[in-house]
Chains A and B, each alone.
Chain A
Amino acid sequence: GNSVTQMEGPVTLSEEAFLTINCTYTATGYPSLFWYVQYPGEGLQLLLKATKADDKGSNKGFEATYRKETTSFHLEKGSVQVSDSAVYFCALSRAGGTSYGKLTFGQGTILTVHP
């Protein structure tokens, strides 16, 4: 079946540091890949997505590239801010088969950024 594995957290960084959160996936066919973010006390927000190999999703300074050869979708940001402190979820969906487009999530990575 489909699965997503994220690097274990929590991740603690100083402001303006470089961020990488690793994400790898297992899926048949060609899934779409997503990063969602959950700020403290809030729901899930779509951060970025990529729908085919070599696509780069980007938003708010965050980037992730769909790498089919390594089945990865690592999240990066060049300079994090305190306001980026949140839980980040990698997820995939497949439009075909019995998945019907539902999302399969990784376990989430807690990011804390200190001033």
Chain B
Amino acid sequence: DSGVTQTPKHLITATGQRVTLRCSPRSGDLSVYWYQQSLDQGLQFLIQYYNGEERAKGNILERFSAQQFPDLHSELNLSSLELGDSALYFCASSAGAGNTIYFGEGSWLTVV
């Protein structure tokens, strides 16, 4: 158990819908990262927050957004969903840059 908790574990939704994925980082970790894993793109970095502020942005679509709350949990919002958004979405956390990054078990999103 990495200590990073993600909900829901599985989600099936229709095209055009919006979903929210939730992540609770390891106790004391200030950095939260979101990654997308798909068969064709592999593991892609989406976005990073540090203590509530956006720190780095990767290949995140404009239809996606994220935030980190004062209690350090984070949410990834995916809207106007398309079939191609079906993927495994990972949250990860670390104490900060240079520290080991630990991953949650992921949220499986299927768009039908």
Binding site for B on A (CB under 8 A): 32, 34, 36, 42-46, 49, 89, 93, 95-96, 98-105, 107-108
**Set of chain A residues within 8 Å of B18, measured between Cβ atoms:** none
Which bucket holds chain B's interface residue count?
20 to 34
Q: Mark B78-100, 1 if CB is under 8 A from A, else 0.
A: 00000000000010101011111
With contact pairs A100-B97, A107-B42 given, residues A36 and B103 touching in the complex (Cβ less than 8 Å): yes
- The chain B residues found within 8 Å of chain A, CB to CB, are 2, 31, 33, 35, 42-43, 45, 48, 50, 55-56, 58, 90, 92, 94, 96-106
Q: Are B103 and A44 in contact (CB under 8 A)?
A: yes
Given the contacts A32-B98, A43-B2, A95-B97, A102 and B48 also touching, CB distance less than 8 Å: yes
Which A residues are CB-close (under 8 A) to B99?
Answer: 101
6 other A-B residue contacts (CB within 8 Å) besides A46-B101, A100-B50, A103-B101: A43-B103, A46-B103, A93-B98, A93-B101, A102-B48, A108-B42
